[in-house]
Structure 1
Amino acid sequence: MSRIPLPEVDVQRQQTLGGVERVRLRSAAAALTSLLALAAISLVSGPAVASESAVPCALPRTSAHHSLGVDSWNSSYPRPVRTLNAVMIFLSFPDSRPSTDPKDLAADYFPATSRFFDQASYGKFRLNAEPQQRWVRMPAASTSYRIERDWDPGQRTRYLRDAIRAADPTTDFSKYDIVYLVADPDAPGVDSDATKVVNFDRPVRADGRDIKRVVTVFEHHPPDRNVLAHETGHVFDLPDLYHRPQDGKPGDWDTYVGDWDVMGSQFGTAPDLFGWQKWKLGWLDRQEVVCVTGDGTSRITLEPLSASPAKAGAAGKRLAVMRTGEDRAIAIEVRVSAGLDRASCKEGVLVYRVRSASASGGGPIQVLDAHPDSEACWEKSVYPPLADAPVELGETFTVPGEGIKIEAEGRTKSGAWTIKISH
Structure 2
Amino acid sequence: MKKLLATTISAAFLLSAFALPATAAVKAGATCSKAGTTNTSAGKKFTCVKSGKKLVWNKGVVIISSTPTQAPTPNQSGAPEELPVVSLASDFISASECKLNKAGNNPDLYTGFPRERKYIPATGDRKSIVLFVDFPDLPADQRAISVWKQTQVPWAEKALAAMSYGRYKLKYELQEKFYRISTPYGAYIKSEAGNAPGSIPAQALETNKLLTDAIVAADPDIDFSKYDFVNVVTPTFKPKTEGGASGGQGFSADGRTSFLATLGPIDEYLDDSTKKNWLLHETGHLLGLNHIYAGARGPAGWDVMGNVFGMDDFLGFNKYFLGWIEENQVNCISASSSKESIHLLTPVGTTSTGTKIAMIKISQSNGVVVELRRKTELDNLSEANSGVIVYTLDTSIPDNQGAINIVSNPTKFGSDTRKNRVLLGSMGVGESTITNGFKIKVIKSVTAGAYVSISKAN
- In structure 2, stretches of 5+ residues that fail to align are 1-51, 56-92, 196-201
- Root-mean-square deviation (Å): 2.8
Q: Does 1:100 align with 2:142?
A: yes
SS in 1 for 2:388: strand
SS in 2 for 1:325: coil
Q: Given that residues 57 and 323 in structure 1 are in contact (C-alpha distance below 8 angstroms), is that contact kept between their aligned partners in structure 2?
A: yes
Amino acid at match of 2:393: V
> Which whole-Å deviations, capped at 9, do the CAs of 1:111-163 have from their partners, x for residues lacking one?
21100100000000011111011101121333443366358778444433432
In structure 2, what is the equivalent of residue 362 of structure 1?
A: 401
1:141-160 aligned at under 5 Å gives the runs: 141-146=184-189, 149-150=194-195, 155-160=206-211
Q: Given that residues 144 and 189 in structure 1 are in contact (C-alpha distance below 8 angstroms), is that contact kept between their aligned partners in structure 2?
A: no
SS in 2 for 1:139: coil
> Which whole-Å deviations, capped at 9, do the CAs of 1:83-137 have from their partners, x for residues lacking one?
2210000011222333425541322312211001000000000111110111011
Instruction: Return the match for 1:337 from 369, 375, 385.
Output: 375
Once residues 264 and 183 of structure 2 are traced to their aligned partners in structure 1, the CA distance between those partners, rounded to angstroms, is 17
In structure 2, what is the equivalent of residue 178 of structure 1?
A: 229
1:9-88 aligned at under 5 Å gives the runs: 55-63=96-104, 64-66=106-108, 67-70=110-113, 72-88=114-130
Q: Which has the larger radius of gyration?
A: 2
Q: Given that residues 144 and 233 in structure 2 are in contact (C-alpha distance below 8 angstroms), is that contact kept between their aligned partners in structure 1?
A: no
Q: Given that residues 346 and 355 in structure 2 are in contact (C-alpha distance below 8 angstroms), is that contact kept between their aligned partners in structure 1?
A: yes
In structure 1, what is the equivalent of residue 153 of structure 2?
A: 110
SS in 2 for 1:304: coil
Deviation at 1:306, TM superposition (A): 1.4
Once residues 141 and 199 of structure 1 are traced to their aligned partners in structure 2, the CA distance between those partners, rounded to angstroms, is 21
Q: Given that residues 146 and 189 in structure 1 are in contact (C-alpha distance below 8 angstroms), is that contact kept between their aligned partners in structure 2?
A: no
Q: Does 1:131 align with 2:178?
A: no
In structure 2, what is the equivalent of residue 45 of structure 1?
A: none
Q: Given that residues 366 and 395 in structure 2 are in contact (C-alpha distance below 8 angstroms), is that contact kept between their aligned partners in structure 1?
A: yes
Once residues 403 and 250 of structure 2 are traced to their aligned partners in structure 1, the CA distance between those partners, rounded to angstroms, is 27
Amino acid at match of 2:260: R
Q: Given that residues 189 and 205 in structure 2 are in contact (C-alpha distance below 8 angstroms), is that contact kept between their aligned partners in structure 1?
A: no
Could you say if the C-alpha distance between residues 367 and 203 of structure 1 is closer, same or farther in structure 2, counting changes exceeding 3 Å?
farther
In structure 2, what is the equivalent of residue 168 of structure 1?
A: 219
Deviation at 1:170, TM superposition (A): 2.5
SS in 2 for 1:115: helix
Could you say if the C-alpha distance between residues 104 and 378 of structure 1 is closer, same or farther in structure 2, counting changes exceeding 3 Å?
closer
In structure 2, what is the equivalent of residue 289 of structure 1?
A: 330
Could you say if the C-alpha distance between residues 144 and 379 of structure 1 is closer, same or farther in structure 2, counting changes exceeding 3 Å?
closer
In structure 2, what is the equivalent of residue 298 of structure 1?
A: 341
Q: Given that residues 374 and 381 in structure 2 are in contact (C-alpha distance below 8 angstroms), is that contact kept between their aligned partners in structure 1?
A: no
Could you say if the C-alpha distance between residues 170 and 81 of structure 1 is closer, same or farther in structure 2, counting changes exceeding 3 Å?
same
- Work out which structure has the larger RCO, using CA pairs closer than 8 Å and 6 or more positions apart in sequence: 1
Q: Given that residues 263 and 273 in structure 1 are in contact (C-alpha distance below 8 angstroms), is that contact kept between their aligned partners in structure 2?
A: yes
Q: Given that residues 334 and 350 in structure 1 are in contact (C-alpha distance below 8 angstroms), is that contact kept between their aligned partners in structure 2?
A: yes
Deviation at 1:352, TM superposition (A): 0.7
Could you say if the C-alpha distance between residues 74 and 84 of structure 1 is closer, same or farther in structure 2, counting changes exceeding 3 Å?
same
Amino acid at match of 1:197: A
Instruction: Return the match for 1:390 from 419, 423, 426.
Output: 426
Could you say if the C-alpha distance between residues 339 and 212 of structure 1 is closer, same or farther in structure 2, counting changes exceeding 3 Å?
same
Once residues 379 and 176 of structure 1 are traced to their aligned partners in structure 2, the CA distance between those partners, rounded to angstroms, is 33
In structure 1, what is the equivalent of residue 199 of structure 2?
A: none
Once residues 206 and 144 of structure 2 are traced to their aligned partners in structure 1, the CA distance between those partners, rounded to angstroms, is 25
Q: Which moved more, 1:232-241 or 1:164-173?
A: 164-173
Q: Given that residues 113 and 226 in structure 1 are in contact (C-alpha distance below 8 angstroms), is that contact kept between their aligned partners in structure 2?
A: yes
Q: Given that residues 84 and 178 in structure 1 are in contact (C-alpha distance below 8 angstroms), is that contact kept between their aligned partners in structure 2?
A: no
Amino acid at match of 1:149: G
In structure 2, what is the equivalent of residue 207 of structure 1?
A: 254
SS in 1 for 2:140: coil
